[in-house]
A and B are shown apart, each in its own frame.
Chain A
Amino acid sequence: MSTETNNSDTRVSEAYRALATETTPHELDDTILKMAANNVPTRYALVRGWLRPVAWAATIGLSLAFILDISRYQDNPVAPAPVTEKVERRAISQDAAVITTDEDIVSRKVNKYADAPVTGKALAPRADSAKPAAMETAVSGLDIATDAAGTLPETEATVRLRASKAQPAASPVEKKEQAEYCDATTRTTAESWYACVEGLKEDGLADAARQELDALLLKFPDFLKPDQDR
């Protein structure tokens, strides 16, 4: 009975299969496939969702920052900009140009010491001799960077720096005295200043005497030496 029913079902099914041959029109297929393709969000559409709010927020933020900056500048128009000494901490192993920059820093420090007031008239070596010590101070930061790097290869620049560190350094007092060998009292008049210069010459400090003479001529351009008077 069951087999008979199945056979009958199969016969009905086959008859229906022979009947059902309709297919969808191509226009309908195109319409639906296009609709399906349009419904899928593209990557740009996903970005477009949050792009506009972010753009607005960025614009407002930048505008506020600009306005605040201008108002602050108007409050303190003569306030000097903070000067920060920019020390470049580059790896020593890069090239010699880095060392040139570091040497500039060293010379700047030397000049700073030279501009300091003189506490005595003690004899001191020239400013050039104080350079290695200042260089040591300036380069100490570089040493830290080098140590942190650990395995940097030793280059010519490193060797030069190490050699300069090995030289004896001048004390800060000596550095201050190196600029002015004659005290302020003797510098008040050209004659007394020149007498001080002569004294330096007699002491055998030709460089110091020349330096003081230059300073004297700079301050008193009309001053004539006694031998020039004759």
Chain B
Amino acid sequence: MATDAQFMTTRSTALCRRSVLAYIPAMVHTPDDSALMLRYKDGDVAAFETLYRRHKDAIYRYLLRLCGHRDIAEDIFQEVWGKIVNARKSYRPTAKFTTFLYRVAHNCFIDHVRRNKRHSNNTTLDPEFHSDPGETLESSTERSLARERLLRALQTLPDEQRDAFLLHEEGGLSVDEIATTTGCNRETAKSRLRYAVNKLRTAIDEPAEQS
């Protein structure tokens, strides 16, 4: 009984926090990515810091999932931001900054693959699984298994499909933006994303015994 009460309290707190966080962007005036980049172009280092902190984790995870190796991901990550810094002078806000950023990241990854032909899909990832303190052992185990299955399914996806899925999830890019970033047409991008989601859904729904 006490455990149920504690669980309910934790859940309601989490929901509360989530609802508050959802309204924060609307309440606080946050400058646009392009505006921040233009400010950095004019020499405002603080603007770049804001921009970097806004996108760094998503870009890092995107590269980490694509590469599967932490060290390589960090190298490419550094290369990506180096290119963003160098592109400061010639930057023009013609497209969404996120599209520009992920295109640079995508190209850096492709360059890395071309440089190292022996790109392997074997990953040494050790994702941190944070279980809720109020979660029961059974539900925690079930969730852990589901996440493990998802990770494995993600790693077995073809590069293009994984790329499309990660651009959608981490970058929040639309199908059109994924097509622009990866240099394919809209239908191709859409089908890649659909195949990826279907495979991952199947992996999640897969009974534990089969996995």
Q: Which residues of B contact A31 (CB under 8 A)?
A: 78
- A12's contact among B82, B130, B200, by CB below 8 Å, is which? B200
Report how far A36 CA is from B60 CA in the complex, Å: 17
- Bits for A12-48, please: 1 = Cβ < 8 Å to B, else 0: 1101111111111100110111011101110000000
Interface status of A201 (Cβ within 8 A of chain B): no
Report how far A12 CA is from B162 CA in the complex, Å: 13
- B128's contact among A22, A29, A35, by CB below 8 Å, is which? A22
Residues A39 and B128 in contact, CB atoms below 8 Å apart: no
Given contacts A19-B150, A21-B130, A22-B61, contact A40 B52 (CB under 8 A): no
- B60's contact among A11, A13, A15, A23, by CB below 8 Å, is which? A23
Which B residues contact A (CB, under 8 angstroms)?
Answer: 40, 43, 45, 48-49, 52, 56-57, 60-61, 64-65, 74, 77-78, 81-82, 85-86, 88, 127-128, 130, 143, 146-147, 150-151, 154, 169-170, 197, 200-201, 204
Q: Which residues of A contact B61 (CB under 8 A)?
A: 20, 22
Interface status of A8 (Cβ within 8 A of chain B): yes
Report how far A32 CA is from B85 CA in the complex, Å: 9
Interface status of A9 (Cβ within 8 A of chain B): yes
Residues A24 and B170 in contact, CB atoms below 8 Å apart: no
- A33's contact among B49, B128, B169, B170, by CB below 8 Å, is which? B49
Given contacts A12-B204, A15-B147, A35-B81, contact A22 B64 (CB under 8 A): yes
Q: Which residues of B contact A11 (CB under 8 A)?
A: 201, 204
- Bits for A132-168, please: 1 = Cβ < 8 Å to B, else 0: 0000000000000000000000000000000000000
Q: Which residues of B contact A18 (CB under 8 A)?
A: 143, 147
B74 CB → nearest A CB, Å: 6
Residues B128 and A16 in contact, CB atoms below 8 Å apart: no
Report how far A23 CA is from B57 CA in the complex, Å: 5
- A36's contact among B64, B85, B143, B201, by CB below 8 Å, is which? B85
Given contacts A22-B60, A40-B45, contact A28 B130 (CB under 8 A): no
Q: Is the interface of A mostly helix, strand, loop or mixed?
A: helix
Residues B45 and A37 in contact, CB atoms below 8 Å apart: yes
Can you report 12 A-B residue pairs in the complex whose CB atoms are below 8 A from each other? A12-B200, A15-B147, A19-B127, A19-B147, A22-B127, A23-B60, A31-B78, A35-B82, A39-B86, A40-B40, A40-B88, A41-B43
Residues B48 and A24 in contact, CB atoms below 8 Å apart: no
Among A18, A24, A25, chain B packs the most CB atoms within 10 A around the CB of: A24
Across the A-B interface, give the 4 residue pairs with the lowest CB-CB distance, nearest first.
A24-B60, A32-B81, A36-B48, A37-B45
Report how far A31 CA is from B77 CA in the complex, Å: 11
A113 CB → nearest B CB, Å: 70
B38 CB → nearest A CB, Å: 13
- A35's contact among B85, B130, B143, B147, by CB below 8 Å, is which? B85
Q: Which residues of A contact B52 (CB under 8 A)?
A: 29, 32-33, 36
Report how far A8 CA is from B150 CA in the complex, Å: 13
Residues B128 and A21 in contact, CB atoms below 8 Å apart: yes
Residues B130 and A32 in contact, CB atoms below 8 Å apart: no
A220 CB → nearest B CB, Å: 89
Residues A24 and B127 in contact, CB atoms below 8 Å apart: no
Closest B residue by C-beta to A28: B74
Residues A8 and B43 in contact, CB atoms below 8 Å apart: no
Given contacts A16-B150, A36-B45, A39-B86, contact A8 B60 (CB under 8 A): no
Report how far A4 CA is from B143 CA in the complex, Å: 22
B150 CB → nearest A CB, Å: 5
Report how far A32 CA is from B147 CA in the complex, Å: 31
- A16's contact among B40, B45, B77, B169, by CB below 8 Å, is which? B169
Report how far A62 CA is from B21 CA in the complex, Å: 67
Report how far A12 CA is from B193 CA in the complex, Å: 12
B195 CB → nearest A CB, Å: 12
